[in-house]
A = this chain, B = another copy of it.
Amino acid sequence: MTDLQEPQSRRARRVRPGASPVEELPPRSLSYRRMTNPFTPQGVFTEDQVEAIHEAALTALEELGMKVLLPEARHLFAAAGALVDEETEMVRIGRDIIEAALAAAPKRIPIRAGHETRDFVFELGAMTFVAGCGSPNATDLDEGKRPGRLVDFENLVRLSQHFDALHAHAVYVEPQDVAHNLRHLAIQKAQLTLSDKFPNIMSRGSPQIADSFEMIRIARGVSPEAFGDEVRCYTIINTNSPRLLDTPMAQGIIDFARAGQLSVITPFCLSGAMAPITVAGALVLQHTEALAGIALAQITKPGAPVLYGSFSSNVDMKSGAPAFGTPEHVKATLGAGQLARKIGLPWRSGAGSASNVADAQAANETQLSLWGSMLAGASVCVHATGWIEGGLSVSFEKFITDMEVVQCMGEMCTPPPATADDLGLDALREVNPGGHFFAAAHTMTRYRSAFYEPLIADWSNFGVWTENGSKTATERANTLWKKIVADFVPPEHAAANVEPLDAFIAKRTEEGGALPIS
């Protein structure tokens, strides 16, 4: 404000007195590692309707119950007072059991990753992302669609490690070139030696879970006694809708609860197929199944860390094909957020696309469902990048183009600066009508860090873009993901885990590994 009368030329000179000192300005630095959702959570139901959905789920649990295939889980439910019919394997769960479970479940879950800079907290209001996962296939522009291989999985671990806006790992693609009895060992090794982020375990029975816990314990240098003191890994529990909890999933809930590790109880409710055709009805079923799983965890060990889970979308009623990123998917996610807030638990959502190729449909469906998750206030959004064909493939190129959107959402968490100086009245005084702000002092002191720098977006003009080969974003993404993988250096402390883990893997391989339980 003291420079008002100073001529424009002198002002401009003063901020550039010598050899481009502005080049020494620090580049943009923005961490996506711990993000708070900037938006007011949005809903689609009235408070009364949310209450009615919750009540309907409690009624379904009491009147209809869940079919629970694992005897041990039925015994745990029975001991807690549930009505169990051993012949039909049906378990009817009173609302007192659910209420006790919801009271016991922690509302804030600190996560201990492989390095303190990767630690974060699952709670309402926090915002985290996980790349697309659970796919049997991988696909990219070079090799096309193929059954998932270990190298594909490892490369997706590398990509997920690379981007700060992805917070936890998952089994992105199934490494089908590794034998069933050894696959879980290879999956853990990749997560623990290439990355220091929060690892995932697939719940495929107690033997594989025990091996995986042991590998995480070895990698993290934790004693067997101390392992359960902090949340060091998680599993995703999918109920078999409608109303069935199968053996490996029940074992997962029990094993993770006993070990103080995190279960994400996620019914996968497709409206019109395995769930009622209405969004409200699908959410009643989702809520029923999620509450049953949460109850089993809390019965096993009160205070066990759990996330409420939602991945409800709809099918095409002409073909029965699942669809994602639809208006119904977004509405279900918004409704799920209301249910999660009603019970006070952190929760997961899911994004995704049913497109068969990384095209505009795929981009639009994933982004639509990402916004649904963000506006619903999901604590973690799974399948945030790369997931196509309704989860049958992960696309390496779409991983990158979706990553751009996830990073843009991360940017939303930082409000624009708005001090008196940021408002730029001095800059307005400096630049007359007909002028421009490129060289204004206000610009020169900020230009290196003012804006998000795109990952893959190309803003060059048509001529330059044409000269550069007229490449689409998907083609550019192909170059970028391969460069990230080629340049990848695992964190030193993670890479140091190779030897002890290899020793464990050799021993377990000799012992025959562990087959999945079905």
Contact = CB atoms under 8 A, between A and B. Distances in A.
A354 B461 CA distance: 8
Given A360-B360, A456-B361, A280 B423 contact: yes
Given A280-B417, A457-B323, A459-B354, A359 B423 contact: no
Nearest to A285: B428
A368 interface: yes
Interface in A462-510: 462, 465-466, 470, 472-474, 477
A355 B475 CA distance: 13
A104 interface: no
Nearest to A465: B356
B460 A321 contact: yes
B276 A437 contact: yes
B243 A428 contact: yes
B416 A335 contact: yes
A471 to B, nearest CB: 9
Contacts of A44: 38, 415-416
A447 to B, nearest CB: 5
Interface string A314-354: 10110111110011101110010000000000000000001
A151 interface: no
Contacts of A427: 276-277, 281
A474 B60 contact: no
A314 B389 contact: no
A454 B427 CA distance: 48
A62 B431 CA distance: 16
Given A39-B42, A415-B44, A450-B314, A401 B280 contact: no
A422 B368 contact: no
A7 interface: no
23 contacts: A52-B418, A53-B423, A60-B428, A244-B433, A276-B427, A277-B437, A278-B422, A281-B428, A284-B428, A317-B447, A317-B448, A321-B461, A323-B451, A323-B457, A326-B454, A328-B451, A332-B416, A359-B472, A361-B401, A361-B404, A361-B473, A362-B473, A371-B371
